[in-house]
Structure 1
Amino acid sequence: MSQTPPPLSRVRAEIDLDALRANVRTLRARAPRSALMAVVKSDGYGHGALSCARAAIEAGATWIGTATPHEALALRAAGIRGRLMCWLWTPGDPWREGIEADLDMSVSGMWALAEVTAAARDAGGPARIQLKADTGLGRNGCAPADWPELVAAALAAEAAGTVRITGLWSHLACADEPGHASIPAQLDTFRRLVAYAEGEGVRPEVRHLANSPAALTLPETHFDLIRTGIAMYGLSPAPELGTAAELGLRPVMTLSASVALVKGVPGGHGVSYGHHYVTPAETTLALIPAGYGDGIPRHASGRGPVLVGGEWRRAAGRIAMDQFVVDLGGQKIQEGAEAVLFGPGDRGEPTAQDWAEAADTIAYEIVTRIGARVPRVHHGGTRATTVPTAPGAAAVTAGRGEGSRT
């Protein structure tokens, strides 16, 4: 019989899987003629890859995407079935294991095609590959000048039975900047390279270009499949596109801590390393037991917002590895009181975007950097799920209507 998990001490990240499902449905509605790939790289942008992949599939995602093959193989080992793609390969990576796990594997250059075909011969079966073109991002992907060579070699490998070309794809550089000149330029290049490959005989199952911002705002980029990462977790890809609420999304992660100490200090009292903050008058300080060792950005020192005692407070002085301080201005609270660093904003708490602005970064980084020693507590799960965290750390999934500690 399951039981409600006990309160977690110190710091915890609560993950609302019902919100994630709702976000997936919202994104599917934005691209009704395209399949949806739920991207769960970097442990689901810090939310827990396994639980988020399962929830996304329940909401209608038909593909799961990861960056590295090791992430994809871990999901397979945990029971994720169906189409699973990974794209960041390096020489010597586990191509054969990827073939045996039935992954779709991205190929951006001749070296990768050589390694995957060799692995396919060893495995005794064809590899599913997707050819990636660099249409202007200047990162991974085959340069347009080299595209004919890669296409020809991939078709030869397909004729030899070592690969199946299942997709043609690319990635946008500035989809989060409305009106940027690179967007139509990349779209034109992608269409041209796809047309060339198909003219040579490639018959892909899917062609895909759109990431989260493009899925939300650029329907001409949707093609057969959209790849949704940050938007699936309820965060806006860019303030210029609108807030999460304006885009119909709900943030999935709430990061909270239990106040570890409350104490009165006189005016002129230095706070934290370097005494970059000195109390202006007699006041009360509260110790928040989370720091950059947990992923709280040190760059937000003096600015990072927290809701504690019903009021917004700012990190006073330096954020340290394990803790930081807020000045309560004389307000009295008790040790153990909840301090909410960020969440959906329903209770007036800061959001991940607020922390991004305080640290001069993007909301992607705020949630993704939350460390492994912070337990994830998943709410809205249809079954208990063990989510790997740091050694000895707890992982909890609370089911609908009841909870279980696993």
Structure 2
Amino acid sequence: MSHVLDSLKLRQSESEKLKINIKEDGYYSISVKAAASTNWQEDNNESLMLRIYLNNDHHQDIVLFYGKQTFTYKRLLGKMKAGVYEIEVICESPRNNQAFAEVESFVVEKLHLSERETLAVHYAPKLYGRAVYSKYDNLYTDTPLEMIYFFDVWEKGHVIEYHMVFSHEDEGTPAVLLMSKWGRLLDIEYMARVYLNEENEIDHVDYQGPEHQVKRYKHSLNENKQVILQTATCNGNFTDEITSDYHFSFIPSYEWKVEQEAREVVMQRFPYINHVMRWEAERQLQQLDVPYHSIHDIREYIYIQSSVWDVQLGQPSVDILCRLEGEEKWYSSSLHHTTIGSFSAAYTGPYNHFATAIRLPEGKSIHDVAEVKIDLINNTLLKAHVKHLKVFAFDEKNELRPYILLECHEQLSPVEVEKIIWRKEK
């Protein structure tokens, strides 16, 4: 059911009410098509939020991070019974009380879900916003954007693991090293593992607490059997102790195929997240002089997705390098295996599939790349098997797009690679 509005403009504390008629039981979403006078690149004018009330109960909040560009924010209403409901939308703009939202439409629709999708939606955690620097941190920094998930198994049945995509992380790994280690400034964090029994009911839940420690969820589930967490730290870790008063209900939007692709597949599936990532970087990272924290332009990088096998995960193993036309120098994803204490700039994550990025000299682009090769950088390894090499770069429209690799160069190490040579897409 769609409610098209005649250029509804909402300013600070202004609201709009509307009735919706749910005709059959099921899981429902709400899509709000809106723009705002805000701009994610402007200090103190980054965004505002729409507070959603359902039958007078505060249901969730939507951060309008896309500013003046009209964008559809799709969120979970939850499992609903047939009946008439009242939705109220209130505009809150604590960063700039002169800002306003322009809402074009509200669409409430039933979700048509497979059995697995139904489980993923049913147990999707509710997330409370971060309140470390201010009452509403996520209105201007590290805002949550998408929730992804995958299924695993344990002795009693299924496990659903949820991950949250944030626009950045204020603390933790410095920006330059985020690019080398993960191939992004986005923060993609393991959020919770929901363990189900044979009847697909919750047995227990683990989540990622501060300092990346796995914690057992100890609170009672709400009436909808939801886990409730809050972003607790400035590097995207969580707590089950709720202290903030704004919260989000994301629809698990993509079942991540862990054995086939890197988490960074979200950068292709949801292109808008790259825009928000870039805007936040331009606002926060261009003027920094602190080593490893300053990023001038994320479009100066090429982005790699690949996978490494026959190695012990959790330790550095391979570096990916590129050479430009007319040069002999190689540019390295791991900054030529930079280490800071025990921290390595190379990928050390827990998955075979990974992403990284290589910064090119100013004024150079993917079109100047002549070769790409892989180097074994862990001297305790005799060999590593690298496959599924893909290269991406931002085009002239600021969209991240793939470039074809037919064959990969192998010169400096005993790395086993798929038979592929670099070829530029026409």
Which TM-score band applies after superposition, normalised by the shorter structure?
Answer: under 0.3
Higher relative contact order, chain-length normalized (CA < 8 Å, sep 6+): 1
TM-score (norm 2): 0.23
Higher helix proportion (structure 1 or 2): 1
TM-score (norm 1): 0.24
| Larger radius of gyration between Structure 1 and Structure 2 | 1
